[in-house]
Chain A
Amino acid sequence: MYIADMLNDFNRIQNQVAQFLGDRSWPVSESPLIRLYSGKDTLALRALLPGIEKDSLEISITDDVVTIKGTVPKTETGEARVVRREKVSGEFTRTIELPFAVDPENSEAVLKEGVLTLTMPIRESVKPRQIPVKSNE
């Protein structure tokens, strides 16, 4: 079973519990769900943030730690009766530890169709180096 499926199930159960308890704006601690990519010079982080406005998102990077803060707006139902609420709303903060220290100055964040992509160059000093193996013969 894939971890994403388990997390999906977990989130769904959590939502149902939240609904049952009447707390519809459950604080989202596990969210957003992420994917991490890495290359020789770059790290990339993707996060699922449907419904988030660019301006309500706060991203900070310190060495090898990324913090994403934001608010998922609660659906404005006005006078309408809520029949079903599966989407989680409210404030969230997620801190992610990266495998390498990155350069925050040259990092870039793009929010498109509810998906955040953070592209961060790996700091020169921490890039893995090839160590030539000397023979002592």
Chain B
Amino acid sequence: MEVKQMATITKQEQHKAHETANQVTNQTREQNKGTSKAGVVITPETDIYSDEKAVYMEVAMPGVSKEGVEISIEKDTLTIKGENSYTPPEDLELKYAEYRPGNYRRSFQLNDTIDTDNIEAVMKNGILRLKLAIRQPVVKKVTVKAE
């Protein structure tokens, strides 16, 4: 069992949290590249922020309902998929378009400090909010007895 000073743990925790957040950010661009150009899959715009306890993500997927969201974790890769429930207005013809409705997909690399069993997800108004808890180090105090 490790015995650590409280102050050190807090600092390490902070450092770890930042490191984790950075790793989430350093997702492989290559992985997300290509798919968006195909016109069917859109890379959703994402905000990421973090504190000592968790990494928070906000993923914009307009046109996706709660049921259309699929979140999966394989090894250290978090993949978010959103199925667009888009239906064109009935009996109308498209005249002008600035965007193409499509399904969403984006992958993020996770650091091993993320507790993958403890992920919260809420979908509202086309925004997916994720809270990825950071594993907290177990602190055990060892009492030193006098002989």
Q: Which residues of A contact B42 (CB under 8 A)?
A: 8
**For residues 20 through 39 of chain A, which have their beta carbon under 8 Å from a beta carbon of chain B?**
33-39
Given A39-B92, A39-B93; A7-B50 close (CB under 8 Å): no
Interface residues of A: mostly helix, strand, loop or mixed?
mixed
Q: A3-B98, A7-B99, A35-B98 are in contact. Are A87 and B47 (CB under 8 A)?
A: yes
Binds B, one of A42-50, A61-69, A126-134: A42-50
The DSSP consensus for interface residues of chain B is: mixed
Known contacts being A33-B98, A114-B62, A115-B126, is A86 close to B46, with CB within 8 Å? yes
Measured between C-beta atoms, what is the minimum distance from A2 to chain B in Å? 6
Question: Can you pick out 30 interface pairs between chain A and chain B where the beta carbons lie within 8 Å of each other?
Answer: A4-B97, A5-B36, A8-B36, A8-B99, A12-B45, A36-B97, A43-B92, A48-B99, A49-B62, A49-B126, A50-B125, A51-B58, A51-B127, A80-B49, A80-B51, A81-B21, A81-B50, A82-B47, A83-B49, A83-B55, A84-B46, A87-B46, A87-B60, A113-B62, A113-B65, A113-B85, A113-B126, A114-B125, A115-B86, A119-B89
